[in-house]
């Protein structure tokens, strides 16, 4: 097996044992990227020189017998809405096309401290607003399993890069499913931690009460490794939870006896593709054979989750994106302006794409005088009802299992002119963001057309350890995570 096809844990082990050097890993990886990136288009920028330099530093540490970090020599990609000092952070938007942050995000500092090698920034829907990766201002990323299909969104670049072996692991952000949905469509493992478990410092804000940085990896053990590194309290983020981080890695193969799994009936009704539903039911049978008890559940208010989400998310986006005015940083219109209002209008007209404009306008509308109570305030109340549904459910079960998405990956262009159908792609992932609970998507099968299907596991607040163990149990019983698209 070629080194690029190995998991992050296995390549790290080989580097530490000196069976291969970090520099050799990086150079082989970039040779593969040179071949496949023109087809997949997962990246917005690459940093081969910086990666080789970092690899040499790690190899020198190892040759000197010095201690190395948890990610020693592992190449990592970053979604391009995570700030990196000295490297562009564009959010796939023309308004930030040439923006270079002066500082690293909290998670970037963490992975650097643990000797990861940052190889580049991955493509996304502009400002993380989208479910297909078709809203990037620069190019569309393609699904490695079928390049006529979308890789999911907003973090399709990270998911496609991991599946195509163009990185060993990646970081993304999840506001309504932007880690889990692309991982389901691309057939890898996407984990969204509890809101507050991972600092959002340095993550370009979309919807501040929903955004959470998450992991994209080849298997569950790699997810545990990367989550271990990036989790923890950060004084620069007021929403960061001052809660101890358990050891996700050490006992990941041990699952409690008499595991109780909730199966929410609302997630198996109208709109669910039969092949997806069948694969998820087969997965539940595997848990049942391993001693788990399946508990029928109702989450009655989840039917309002999409509407609630698109009110809250757009309202917060309209506030967060007001900072892009062409004055302090970012795009500045080259046309002359008569006044500051004209300047703002031109900057935003030229810099923002159509989906971002749609959401800003919608957000301004729901926050405007006379409509705040009817929309935003009511959505906040429904959000509390959805939260109560999950609180009641978790009194009965240890975790909840359902499909990650209602369908498999769809064709490029299939839903781009129908925003409502596009928004419904996240119908099963959105509730976790509204409630703030952790969720993970793992591959659980393939459609007749050979496209991956994702299984979603949801847990209680700050119970990432439990959902990782439940995911690992399924992974140990199946080989879906080992299957690769034919890219050779």
Q: Over 60: is that where the pLDDT of 412 sits?
A: yes
Return the pLDDT at 166. 98
Percent of the chain with pLDDT over 70: 99
The reported pLDDT for the residue numbered 488 is 57
- Quick one: average pLDDT of 181-190? 98
Domain with CATH 3.90.1300.10 in the chain: 3-244+474-482
Name the least confident of 123-127, 372-376, 426-430, 458-462. 372-376
Residue-wise pLDDT for 16-67, tens only, equals 999 999 999 999 999 999 999 999 999 999 999 999 999 999 999 999 999 9
pLDDT tens profile 214-250: 999 999 999 999 999 999 999 999 999 999 999 999 9
- Whether the per-residue pLDDT at 392 is higher than 80: the answer is yes
Indicate the pLDDT class of residue 325, thresholds 50, 70 and 90: confident
CA pair distance 429, 155, nearest whole angstrom: 14
Catalytic positions, written as ranges: 79, 154, 178
Report pTM.
Answer: 0.97
- Residue 471: what pLDDT? 98
The CATH homologous superfamily of the domain defined by 3-244+474-482: Amidase signature (AS) domain (3.90.1300.10)
| pLDDT score recorded for residue 46 | 98
pLDDT of residue 136: 98
Q: Across the chain, what does the average pLDDT equal?
A: 96
CA 164 – CA 480 distance, rounded (Å): 15
């Amino acid at each position: 097996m070629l080194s690029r096809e190995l998991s992050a844990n296995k390549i790290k082990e080989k580097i530490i044992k000196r069976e291969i050097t970090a520099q050799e890993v990086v150079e082989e990886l970039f040779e593969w990227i040179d071949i496949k990136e023109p087809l997949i288009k997962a990246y917005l920028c690459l940093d081969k020189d910086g990666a080789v330099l970092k690899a040499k530093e790690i190899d020198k540490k190892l040759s000197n017998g010095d201690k190395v970090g948890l990610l020693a020599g592992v190449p990592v990609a970053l979604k391009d809405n995570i700030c990196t000092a000295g490297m562009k952070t564009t959010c796939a938007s023309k308004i930030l096309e040439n923006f270079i942050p002066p500082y690293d995000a909290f998670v970037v500092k963490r992975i650097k401290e643990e000797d990861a090698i940052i190889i580049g920034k991955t493509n996304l829907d502009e400002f993380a607003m989208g479910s297909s990766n078709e809203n990037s201002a620069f190019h569309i990323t393609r699904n490695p399993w079928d390049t006529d299909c979308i890789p999911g969104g907003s973090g399709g670049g990270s998911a496609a890069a991991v599946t195509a072996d163009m990185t060993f692991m990646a970081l993304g952000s999840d506001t309504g499913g932007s880690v889990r949905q692309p991982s389901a469509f691309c057939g890898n493992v996407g984990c969204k931690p509890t809101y507050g478990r991972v600092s959002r410092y340095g993550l370009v804000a979309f919807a501040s009460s929903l955004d959470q940085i998450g992991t994209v990896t080849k298997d569950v053990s790699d997810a545990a490794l990367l989550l271990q590194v990036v989790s923890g309290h950060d004084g620069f983020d007021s929403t960061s939870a001052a809660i101890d981080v358990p050891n996700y890695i050490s006992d990941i193969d041990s699952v409690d006896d008499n595991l109780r799994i909730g199966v929410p009936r609302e997630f198996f009704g109208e709109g669910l593709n039969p092949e997806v539903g069948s694969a998820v039911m087969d997965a539940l049978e595997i848990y049942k054979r391993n001693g788990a008890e399946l508990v029928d559940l109702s989450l009655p208010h989840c039917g309002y989750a999409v509407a609630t989400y698109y009110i809250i998310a757009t309202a917060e986006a309209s506030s967060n994106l007001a900072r892009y005015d062409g004055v302090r940083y970012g795009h500045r219109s080259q046309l002359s302006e008569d006044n500051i209002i004209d300047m703002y209008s031109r900057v935003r007209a030229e810099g923002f794409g159509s989906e971002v404009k749609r959401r800003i306008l919608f957000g301004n509308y729901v926050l405007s005088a006379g409509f705040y109570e009817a929309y935003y305030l009511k959505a906040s109340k429904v959000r509390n009802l959805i939260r109560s549904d999950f609180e009641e459910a978790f009194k009965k079960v240890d975790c909840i299992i359902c499909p990650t998405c209602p369908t498999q990956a769809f064709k490029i262009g299939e839903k781009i002119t129908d925003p409502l159908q596009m928004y419904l792609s996240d119908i099963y992932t959105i509730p976790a963001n509204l409630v703030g609970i952790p969720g993970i998507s793992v591959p659980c099968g393939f459609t007749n057309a050979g496209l991956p299907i994702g299984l979603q596991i949801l847990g209680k607040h700050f119970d990432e350890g439990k959902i990782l163990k439940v995911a690992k149990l399924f992974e140990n019983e199946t080989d879906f995570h080992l299957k690769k698209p034919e890219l050779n």
